[in-house]
Amino acid sequence: MKTSIKIVLCLFFAIAGINLSFANRTDKKEIIAEQTIAQVSVPSDSKITVQKEIATPSKAQNETVKKASTDSEKAIPANAPFLFWSQLVLLLVIIYFGIKYGGIALGMLGGLGVTLLVFLYGVEPGKPPIEVMLIILAVVTTSSSLEATGALNLIVSYAEKLLRKNPNKIVFLAPLTSFTLTMLVGTGHAVYPLLPVIYDVSIKNKIRPERPMAMAAICSQLGITASPISAAAAALVGIFAAANLHVSLIDILKITIPSCLAGLLLAALWSLKRGKDLENDPIFQEKIKDEEQRKYIFGDLEAQTNKFGKKSKTALALFLLGILGIVIIAIFPEAILPLDKEGNPLKMSIVLQFVMLAVGAIILFATKISAKSISDTKVFNAGMVAAIMIFGIAWMSDTVIENNKPYILSLISETVTAHPWTFALAMFCASAFLKSQAATLLVIMPLGISLGIPTPVLIACIPASYAYFFFCFYPSDLAAINFDRSGTTKAGSWILNHSFMIPGMIAVWTAVIVGFGLVELL
């Protein structure tokens, strides 16, 4: 049955694509012919006036708004609705099978999607997210050196001491530590060694493990847009720079850090009393009646054999200095960075790449670890998988949007202009399927810029790029479920009634609302 469904889908897109390819090319020829006639009929003095306007510096700053107007005014082919919706269905099918197979499959299937769009629909491929991929490679390589030197476990050991000293505050401290860890290393995958500690502290103090563990998993991802070295933050800087919008890394972080922290605190406050206390939970009490189950649930955490010497501390100190250096450069780019050909400081997205690689090289020299040990780490593996995922699926998404932009703008421009908050909702929905904040921002943020949405509104919406807790199949969510031996952190029997849904919704939408308030104040 499953095979027949796949065959039917393939035949549908093949037949539709062949027909649409010819129709699409015909429409393009007609549009080109119309544009040529229009250009011939333009008087020479009008051309001079247009050239002068383009050359004016003040007009150049509004280039993005002009481009949005041009996109919305382009002739929309008669078959545009069918072109867009059929391509969107293809994208959703690709995402479905990508999630089903997991890992790098999403990236590979994204490449398959681009191939189908090019050869069956006859469209031009969009731009692959090369810059974001390079940032991921640079940041992940350096973060992997932390794991190879034991510095990552050193950070976890500091967090463990904090949690064990304050067990009654673990519902607040667990998400704060995972959030901070993500801010430091730029990836939410660093939370894995912290989860067993959170479980051990909570269960030994008779605190329902679901409360801190679900929050820790959520906040490990919520902290991505608040990190100065994450791929998502770098993607935003690159997107705004490409659109000639003068938005710095600091402009982004001064909104995302406090707004995400506000979301974290409110969600943690709700989590304090979520679910029944263990002594009043009949399902839990039934489990511990079995002696073997009791030993399994309350068993001691496996002893850590890691010894943190000078090498780990040196690597951690160098890494933190590197992050501090990036923040200082972002604050004073004109005073520190050389100028490009146009007289502007180098883009932070490029600076982030070579500075992070340099920090990794310095750690390599200072600690004398082997290069192979870096590439053998879990962080390196997870980062490479993330890069390939973003490569394929973001490329396909960009191809669909760019080739259907006039029609998309005609559908949503009035609604988004009248109610800007709906842009955050669109970003949230996209993230639930793309399962990457960097990929979501790469796909959706340029669309918002094309719609002419004010820059402060776009920045306020950034936290909505995290929605992949909605379907709890993300590795950090699954890890929290697996590490909770009490069974209180669960996936849910109806797909959406899982442990991450309500705290995730509270955290994200509180962050968005606070973000809207902050952009008005700052």
Q: Cα dist. 393→87, 92, 403, 445 in Å?
A: 13, 10, 16, 15
Query: What is the spatial distance between Cα 228 and Cα 248, in angstroms, rounded to a whole number?
Result: 11
Query: What is the spatial distance between Cα 435 and Cα 397, in angstroms, rounded to a whole number?
Result: 13
Which region, left, alpha or beta, applies to residue 275 given φ > 0 means left and ψ of -120 to 50 means alpha? Answer: left
Query: What is the spatial distance between Cα 277 and Cα 299, in angstroms, rounded to a whole number?
Result: 19
Q: DSSP label at 305? A: -
What was the pLDDT predicted at 106?
85
What was the pLDDT predicted at 53?
34
CA-derived radius of gyration, the chain: 25
Q: Dihedrals φ, ψ of 269, to 5°?
A: -65, -40
Closest to 297 (Cα-Cα) out of 522, 102, 484, 104? 484
Query: What is the spatial distance between Cα 514 and Cα 263, in angstroms, rounded to a whole number?
Result: 8
Per-residue pLDDT of the chain (522 residues; tens, 9 = 90+): 455 445 445 544 554 544 444 444 444 444 444 444 344 343 444 333 333 333 333 333 355 445 545 554 567 888 888 999 999 999 989 988 887 887 788 889 999 999 999 999 999 998 888 887 888 888 889 989 988 998 988 888 899 999 999 999 999 999 999 999 999 988 888 888 899 999 999 999 999 999 999 999 999 999 999 999 888 887 898 888 888 888 888 999 999 999 999 999 999 999 999 999 999 999 999 999 988 888 889 887 655 555 678 899 999 999 999 999 998 998 888 889 898 888 878 888 788 899 999 999 999 999 999 999 999 988 888 888 888 888 888 889 889 988 888 888 888 888 887 888 899 999 999 898 777 898 889 888 988 998 889 999 999 999 999 998 998 878 889 899 999 999 999 987 777 889 999 999 999 999 999 999 999 997
- Are 403 and 125 in contact, with CB atoms under 8 Å apart? no
Query: What is the spatial distance between Cα 222 and Cα 83, in angstroms, rounded to a whole number?
Result: 35
The set of residues, in sequence order, having a beta carbon less than 8 Å from that of 160 and lying 6+ positions away, is: 194, 197
Which residues on neighbouring strands pair with residue 345, listed in sequence order?
A: 339
Write down the pTM of the prediction.
0.79
Closest to 85 (Cα-Cα) out of 407, 390, 446? 407
Query: pLDDT digit string (tens) for 337-381?
Result: 898 888 878 888 788 899 999 999 999 999 999 999 999 988 888
136 three-state secondary structure: helix
Query: What is the spatial distance between Cα 210 and Cα 193, in angstroms, rounded to a whole number?
Result: 17
- Are 356 and 142 in contact, with CB atoms under 8 Å apart? yes
